[in-house]
Structure formats: C-alpha cells, structure tokens
Structure 1
C-alpha cells in the first residue's frame, strides 16, 4: 500500500467512518451503503489517479440509486450498487454536479483537521442531499437538463408525462446519435412523441 493510501485511510478512520456508521451506513473498502426502502444511498472515497508517494488528494462522491427508476430504464442490480451505478450523483463540497472538489493531503497534513472538514460537509450538505434524492420528484427536478433515460424515467414516474416527452425531444435534438436509443425507451414507456 502506498504512503498516500495509508494517509487517506487514516483520515477516514479519524472520523469519516464513524460519522457514516452513526447514520446507518455499512462500510466496504472505501464505500459506504445504506439501503432505504429498496433504494441505496452511496458514499465513496475516491483517491486521485495522480497521487504519488506521500502527496495526493481525494474526493467524496455521493450517489443515490433509485430502484424504480433504474428498473424503468431496464437496468438490473445484483447486490449493492457501485457509486458509478447511481441514478444521480454529486461530489461532496461541490456546488453543482459539474463542480470538482478535492481534499489535498500529504505527509505534513493535519489529518484530523481534514477528516473534521469532510465530516462537517457530510453533516451540513451530504446527508441532506442523499435524503432529498430518495424522492423521485426531487431526482426528476435535479436531472431536468440531463439527456438520459434516468431523467426521462424520473419525470414520467413523478407523474409528469409532458415533461418526460419534452426531455426526450430535447435529448434527441442535443444528441442525434442516441435518437434510436431514446425512441426505443419512449416506445417501451408508452410515450408518443
């Protein structure tokens, strides 16, 4: 194990793991899962691929896997979802899904201070974001500009057929190469475009 990996793991032990456990998450490696009504909340610690020796950085990824949406999309799940399987995700500390927030860490870092900062952000932003996105309507609102079958499915499952149609049409205009895929989903969902 590299020196930077040891530092990240130590940072996790200093408070992050305990905080997530206190909120009902179960740990597996650098991933935490919590099942809520057949849906999953996911927290993942991602080390940078550019980490070297005792210098590097890490990010905290948050995700929610909504079983009903994923099933509607034709996706099946065997076991716990990985963070990249999430219906919707964000990086902790980011102001939106396009932001990229990383904690810098090296041998001289105050690991307790870094861990405390992560826990503070989990407490002030992360847990509420995860809980907010257990509701399909909230997922639909957050995915409103994403050209994906998850976005279409969330709109339809939240009871807004016209919005689902609008999203499909906009996605086809934005991504014409995916037109056949989007139209197949629409036909299967019973949407007439």
Structure 2
C-alpha cells in the first residue's frame, strides 16, 4: 500500500474512533479527542510511533484528565489541552488485564474497522476510568488515597494542595 493510502486508512481509523467516542461526549481535533466537563477536560490522544514508515503506522493512546483550575498561564486553554498537560494521565495499556504498553499497527493488510473493533473495549475501559475522575472533587479523593497515575508523588501533593486551596 502506498504511503498516501496508509495515511488515508489512518484517517479512517481516526474517524471511526471519533464515531465511537462521540456518544460519550467527545469531540475530535487533530489526533486528540476531548470532552469538557465542569471546567475540566478528559483527553484521549493518539500517539504515532516514530518507527512508523510509509508501509505502516504504529500508534497508541495517551489518556488523561486536565483540571482547568490547575492550568498555569503558559498552558493552553482547557479546550485545547493535550494528554501531556493532564493532571491524571495513563497510557492505554494500563487498562489491560495485565497492564503493559500497547501499540496497534495499521498496514496494507489491516482493515480499519477490525482495528477499531479490537481497540474499542480498551478505549471504553479508559474512558470509564477517566469519567470516574473527571471533576476536581474526584481528583482530590484519588490523590488523598495516595494514588497519582502519571504523576510523581511531589506533583500529586502539590496539585492536591492547590486544588484544596482553590
């Protein structure tokens, strides 16, 4: 499959992911899907591997929750944030029965619908987790329990202090 056909197939995959996430309130912008809620954003972002070539695209998902109240001046508006801005963040592979880094590969022999059907249950698990921690009170509860997915303990404590003071 020529490079432009792989890119077109990848766009089809992104479109099907958007269709899958839309009933959950997500909107697509580039390779990211966001849902705004109570001043916060739930982010599902597609990360392409640097090892992708003209013959295949490897990708995974970075997911997270961004607290609008914790954003600093230099950071984008909550409607434009990415997974790296998130105050709770995970890779999609953390939602596997046995957590591991998970990548998908799209090549000439891959049907986009089959790929999306394969990844949808894992995406749904990630969305359920994110929705359960989508507002500041839920983030505070999570951080008070000592958990801080994607953060250092220092970051957890700092964000906890800042949210409680806000």
Distance 2:58 2:161 in 1: 39
**Residue in 2 aligned with 1:143?**
148
Contact 1:11 1:115 in 2 (8 A): yes
Aligned-partner SS, 1:44: strand
- Within 5 A, what are the aligned runs for 1:104-119? 104-119=105-120
**Residue in 1 aligned with 2:24?**
23
Distance 1:2 1:148 in 2: 45
The aligned length equals: 152
Q: Choose between structure 1 and 2 for higher RCO, CA contacts under 8 A separated by at least 6 residues.
A: 2
Distance 1:88 1:31 in 2: 16
Where structure 1 has 5 or more consecutive residues not aligned to the other structure, the ranges are 160-188
Distance 2:29 2:4 in 1: 19
Contact 2:10 2:57 in 1 (8 A): no
Distance 1:138 1:51, change over 3 A: farther
Structure label with greater radius of gyration: 1
- Within 5 A, what are the aligned runs for 1:36-55? 36-55=37-56
**Residue in 2 aligned with 1:152?**
157
Contact 1:4 1:54 in 2 (8 A): yes
Distance 1:85 1:34 in 2: 14
1:78 aligned to which of 76, 79, 84: 76
Distance 1:11 1:127 in 2: 18
Where structure 2 has 5 or more consecutive residues not aligned to the other structure, the ranges are none
**Residue in 2 aligned with 1:179?**
none
Runs of 4+ off more than 4 Å: none
Q: CA RMSD in A?
A: 2.6
* Per-residue CA distance 1:53-79 (angstroms, 9 max, x = gap): 1223110111110123x25xxx23432
TM-score (norm 1): 0.68
**Residue in 2 aligned with 1:5?**
7
